[in-house]
Structure 1
Amino acid sequence: MLSLLKISQIALIDQLTVEFAEGLNLLTGETGSGKSIIVDSLGALVGERVSSDIIKENAESARVEGLFTVKTNDDLANILREGGFDVDGEYVELIIRREISRSGKNRIFVNDQLVTQSFLKRLGAFLVDIHGQGDQASLFNPSTHLEILDEYAGLDDLRGRIRNIFAELTESSGELRDLEQSEAQKLQLMDILRFQIDEISKVKPEIGEEENLIEERKKLLNVEKLSQLSEQSYSLLYEDENAVVTNLEKVTRQIAELAEYESGFRSYLEDLQNTIVTLEDLASSIRSFRATLDFSPGRLEDIEARLAEISRLKRKYGGSVENVLKHLEEAEAKLLKLENTEIHQEELRKRVEKLRVEYNRLAGQLHEARQNAARKFEEEVEKNLKKVALEKGRFKVLIECDESRLTAKGFDKVEFYFSANLGESLKPLVKVASGGEASRLMLVLKTVANLSENPKTMVFDEIDIGIGGRVAEAVGLKLRELAKHHQVLCVTHQPQVAALADHHFLVEKLIEDGKTKILIRKLNIDGRVQEIARMLAGEKVTLTAQKHAEELLRKGMAV
């Protein structure tokens, strides 16, 4: 559940804080008041891409922050642990903060720990599900139908297993095809691999060697300066008539005499003696270092040549010594496989056969699970169509199984068919659903598919556009039903929907000191009546509209 949302310096928003609660949270306001900005900001909190264009004019950065409380499950716990977070108890509290700057840099924090956008996107899937008008277009795309059915059926585990088998099968099949290339191609590849292995092996680069050589080259290029510095340092410390160590020894002896008469000086003696030892060690180290300084043009040439060899290998094989050595290891392994082609080919054939059998088994299970789920899904959808004023609506899931088509999702292609009116034949969604019907059908499909999930925050951005009256009321009742299982945030222009809210927020655009600002406030009963009346009548609220609003609200609160 999202309990707190803070937005700073985004679009027309200076500072905005809103507290949401369980149930149906509705946002209303005039067109252009900034409701969708709030939804977009919430999208940024769960990993959606954002541009620096959203930053308020004359501001250098923007920030969105949200407080979520979510029930844990194994998948969520695994993601959090991967990110280095502790997971204890049935619920976990997450404070997510996203900072956006004009430079395009984004910083994302979860419980004050810096995370990546990809991590946030994975985490966000467990927190918020955002549905907008654009989802209606995706509803017409059959490629989304398989995902909706699998979401309803809870097939994540089986999908994961077949995805892994498919990846192994694809890799092994590709490797087998490579080995079955013509003999000439195989010999050519072996020659290339032998050349690469020989080239790297002759140089024998070692990890850390390049850094050591660069450091040694730096010393050789500055040997005169280093010799002078070490000579002067050693003289000042130890050799000169007034050397630091000599003078410090004199001071120590004098302090020792003073200590015989004044005990307060005794505590300094040990420090002085330790300092002398430290300086003597330093002088010895300088002397040893000076002794190693010997400019050798030959050695410098050797270093330059060695660095050039290493650099050449890095350019060819991956940009680092680690990658060069990794390439050597891989090339040796490939060559060994090619030299044992027949044995390896037979092993691969058996492996591909075994993987194909396992793939077929899992794909068959997946197909059967989808068939079983499809019948239940059809029943659930048709039952819920009645709740959104599509009483005559019929819905069918068509599953086409082609065992010659291997994918990471199995053999199946899934497409939804729909008929809104009695006597009409079932047709693909793209051919039958009008705008208003699509909105309601999408709401039904999403809610039916999500009822089996852990509770999360579901956001609907003006999905009730293009409908009104009895149909709008039916959509509102469906949202209210969904809100029993999930926290729901909904942007709406429909008074019939607004009347059903558990929590009603008004988004307003005001002008202060010549600047436009966006504000949000939670409405009390009187405020809700006024806002619903405005939604019914427009800017000029009549007494009739107000009475109608009171009646709508009374009915909504009685549901």
Structure 2
Amino acid sequence: MLTRLSIRNIVLIEALDLDFGRGLGVLTGETGAGKSILLDALGLVLGDRAETSLVRAGADKANVTASFEFAALPGVIAAALDDAELTIEPGEPLMIRRQVKADGGSKAFVNDQPVSAGLLRQLAPALVELHGQHDDRGLVNPRGHRMLLDRYAGVDLGALERRWASWAKAEAQLAEARASVEQAKLDQDLLIAHLAELTTLEPVAGEEARLAAQRSDMQKGERLAGELEDLRHIWEGSDSPLASLRVAARKLDRIAGEHPLLTEALAALDRAVIEAGEAEEKLEKAAEALIHDPAALDAAETRLFELRALARKHRCEVDHLPDLMREMRARLDSIEGGEAQLDALEAAAKEARAAYVAAAEKASEQRLKAAKALDKAVAAELAPLKLDAARFLTAIGRLPEDKWGAQGMDAAEFLISTNPGADFAPLNKIASGGELSRFILALKVALAEKGGAATIIFDEIDRGVGGAVASAIGERLARLAADEGQLLAVTHSPQVAARGGTHYLIAKASSGTVTRTSVMLLDAGGRRQEIARMLSGAEVTPEARAQADRLLEGV
């Protein structure tokens, strides 16, 4: 609930600190005293647009701080703070501060940590519920009616949302698989043709480098064929250099012992023979490697060109062609396997849909049952509020399947008929300001036991009524405050003001050219005097004070 509101330099308010407690708190004052300023200030911490016109004349900035305390932090608030990576310790108050600069711009803080105004708007519905004659949110807005009905009916939205998520996931998987199979079917003929081409060629990893080297060697052999043949003639036969060296070595061997130099000459000659033999062996191997076979060269070049052309066609490296073959085979296999997978996914999606529909149908039944109970509860509140001829209806309609969602398959809206025989219509379409306020109160009282925001504010909900109707409004506000915990009512009705557990007087005073709005918590005597003023007008009479006493004693 709202425990403290501190305002600095907002319009006519220079500095104001207000403490609030549980129960019904009433705010009264003469017309134009500045009650709307309080609501505007509170709106800032709830994420309303930061207008520079709110900054008090002469001030460079304005600040509003609101403190809220909870026995346990509401789930909506906890989730929003968690998403924003903000932590509040158990028992720690939630403090929201908004700063507005006179030259434009604003800042927002939650427990002194900077946040966006968007986060404040996320928190607002769970913090303060504002109802007034011109309120276009809350109970008047049809978009929130189903949520309120669900809360009243006790619908397990969490289970319904999980069923919806499971169905949506199953449908997404099925759609993805269908698209994959359809695409594969479209590509099937092309895949078969490409695979046949690859299979005919049967590429092997590393083949390109081997063929390129082989082709290079054969091309060199073609170029060196003449020189290699001349060398072969030189090294072959009895008069070849190697044969001559061997003959010389044998002759020298017979006389090498005659002198040391001959021995050394023989050793050198032996080495020459060995190296010449090695040279001959290498020449023979080189000749074999560089054999020029025109047919083999043509075959190597043809295969190399075919491999490279196929690689260019598929925009990959030649060495990746074997992998491409395996991928194509897998894609073709997946077409047949994909059909079987589709059957399984279709069955899973059908099962998930059935589970969602069952949960949604259960929610629909709960809503229909709760709608009747809510209509009856609201009807019981209308007569005391001088709405005897009015009727209230909770309309529930089945949505088309493409409009189903995580909250089910129903649309819900609160409708009213203000005159006998008149058609039902939305709350804000046919009710006058006073009627709308009383309808909202009746509906809120009927919904009271099902929870809502931590703090409820009614802004001049009693405008245009008096006497017994005003007394009935006051009694219901007091009852609602007892059920909900904290309710604030801006009122001009003494009957409503008398019901307040706490009473705040809003007053405006001028000193020269400076006008200020102040708010004072009234004691028992102050309450009596203010209610008497509300009863009598400018001059408080003894009769008004006596009437005020009777009102206060009657609550």
TM-score (norm 2): 0.64
Find 1:368's aligned residue among 365, 383, 388. Answer: 365
Aligned to 2:550: 554
Find 1:349's aligned residue among 346, 351, 355. Answer: 346
Name which of structure 1's ranges 62-71 and 40-49 shifts more when overlaid on structure 2: 40-49
Aligned to 2:99: 99
Find 1:436's aligned residue among 434, 437, 447. Answer: 434
SS at match of 1:484: helix
Q: Distance in 1 between matches of 2:508 and 2:94?
A: 30
Find 1:479's aligned residue among 470, 477, 480. Answer: 477
Q: Quick one: structure 1 residues 411 and 453, their matched pair in 2 at CA, closer, same or farther if it must change by over 3 Å?
A: same
Aligned to 2:38: 38
Q: Distance in 1 between matches of 2:95 and 2:137?
A: 33
Q: Distance in 1 between matches of 2:501 and 2:529?
A: 16
Q: Quick one: structure 1 residues 118 and 448, their matched pair in 2 at CA, closer, same or farther if it must change by over 3 Å?
A: farther
Q: Deviations over 1:49-96 (max 9, x none)?
A: 4333322233222111122221215625555555442443xx552232
Q: Is the 8 A contact 1:388 1:478 kept in 2?
A: no
Q: 1:308-347, aligned counterparts within 5 Å?
A: 346=343
Aligned to 2:447: 449
Q: Deviations over 1:381-439 (max 9, x none)?
A: 22333443435554332322346452333221223343456x54662345653332221
Aligned to 1:23: 23
Q: Look up the equivalent residue of 1:558 and give its one-letter code.
A: G
Q: Look up the equivalent residue of 1:448 and give its one-letter code.
A: A
Q: Deviations over 1:160-203 (max 9, x none)?
A: 44345445645664675677679689979xxxxxxxxxxxxxxx
Q: Is the 8 A contact 1:457 1:488 kept in 2?
A: yes
SS at match of 1:135: coil
Q: Distance in 2 between matches of 1:519 and 1:72?
A: 33
1:125 deviates by: 3.2
Bigger Cα Rg: 2
Identity score, percent:
35
Q: Deviations over 1:498-550 (max 9, x none)?
A: 22222111112221241121111122334334433433344x3252xx52354
Q: Look up the equivalent residue of 1:456 and give its one-letter code.
A: A
Q: Distance in 2 between matches of 1:141 and 1:86?
A: 31
Q: 1:398-437, aligned counterparts within 5 Å?
A: 398-402=395-399, 404=401, 405-420=403-418, 424=421, 427-430=424-427, 433-437=431-435
1:347 deviates by: 5.5
Q: Distance in 2 between matches of 1:439 and 1:135?
A: 9
Aligned to 1:120: 120
Aligned to 1:512: 511
Q: Distance in 2 between matches of 1:53 and 1:170?
A: 47
Q: Quick one: structure 1 residues 81 and 144, their matched pair in 2 at CA, closer, same or farther if it must change by over 3 Å?
A: closer
Q: Is the 8 A contact 2:533 2:544 kept in 1?
A: no
RMSD of aligned Cα (Å): 3.6
Aligned to 1:85: 87
Q: Is the 8 A contact 1:26 1:498 kept in 2?
A: yes
Q: 1:135-534, aligned counterparts within 5 Å?
A: 135=135, 142-155=142-155, 158-166=156-164, 169-170=167-168, 173=171, 346=343, 348-391=345-388, 393-402=390-399, 404=401, 405-420=403-418, 424=421, 427-430=424-427, 433-453=431-451, 456-485=454-483, 486-534=485-533
Q: Distance in 2 between matches of 1:342 and 1:103?
A: 66
Structure 2: segments with no counterpart, 5+ residues: 188-330
Q: Is the 8 A contact 1:417 1:427 kept in 2?
A: yes
Q: Deviations over 1:333-366 (max 9, x none)?
A: xxx99x8675665565344323322221121121
Q: Is the 8 A contact 2:133 2:433 kept in 1?
A: no
1:487 deviates by: 0.9
Q: Distance in 2 between matches of 1:61 and 1:344?
A: 65
1:13 deviates by: 1.5
Q: Quick one: structure 1 residues 511 and 385, their matched pair in 2 at CA, closer, same or farther if it must change by over 3 Å?
A: same
1:144 deviates by: 3.8
Q: Is the 8 A contact 2:474 2:495 kept in 1?
A: yes
SS at match of 1:148: helix
Q: Look up the equivalent residue of 1:439 and give its one-letter code.
A: S
1:493 deviates by: 1.9
Q: Is the 8 A contact 1:417 1:426 kept in 2?
A: no
Q: Quick one: structure 1 residues 118 and 362, their matched pair in 2 at CA, closer, same or farther if it must change by over 3 Å?
A: farther
Q: Deviations over 1:122-148 (max 9, x none)?
A: 434333222222236875654443233
Q: Is the 8 A contact 1:382 1:395 kept in 2?
A: yes
Q: Is the 8 A contact 1:533 1:541 kept in 2?
A: no
Q: Distance in 2 between matches of 1:123 and 1:415?
A: 24
Q: Distance in 2 between matches of 1:187 and 1:40?
A: 63
Q: Quick one: structure 1 residues 180 and 555, their matched pair in 2 at CA, closer, same or farther if it must change by over 3 Å?
A: same
Q: Quick one: structure 1 residues 137 and 118, their matched pair in 2 at CA, closer, same or farther if it must change by over 3 Å?
A: closer
Q: Distance in 2 between matches of 1:558 and 1:495?
A: 12
Q: Is the 8 A contact 1:380 1:448 kept in 2?
A: yes
TM-score (norm 1): 0.63
Q: Quick one: structure 1 residues 166 and 9, their matched pair in 2 at CA, closer, same or farther if it must change by over 3 Å?
A: same
Q: Is the 8 A contact 1:529 1:549 kept in 2?
A: yes
SS at match of 1:442: helix
1:557 deviates by: 4.2
Q: Distance in 2 between matches of 1:372 and 1:501?
A: 35
1:37 deviates by: 1.3
Q: Is the 8 A contact 2:396 2:412 kept in 1?
A: yes
Q: Is the 8 A contact 2:532 2:548 kept in 1?
A: no
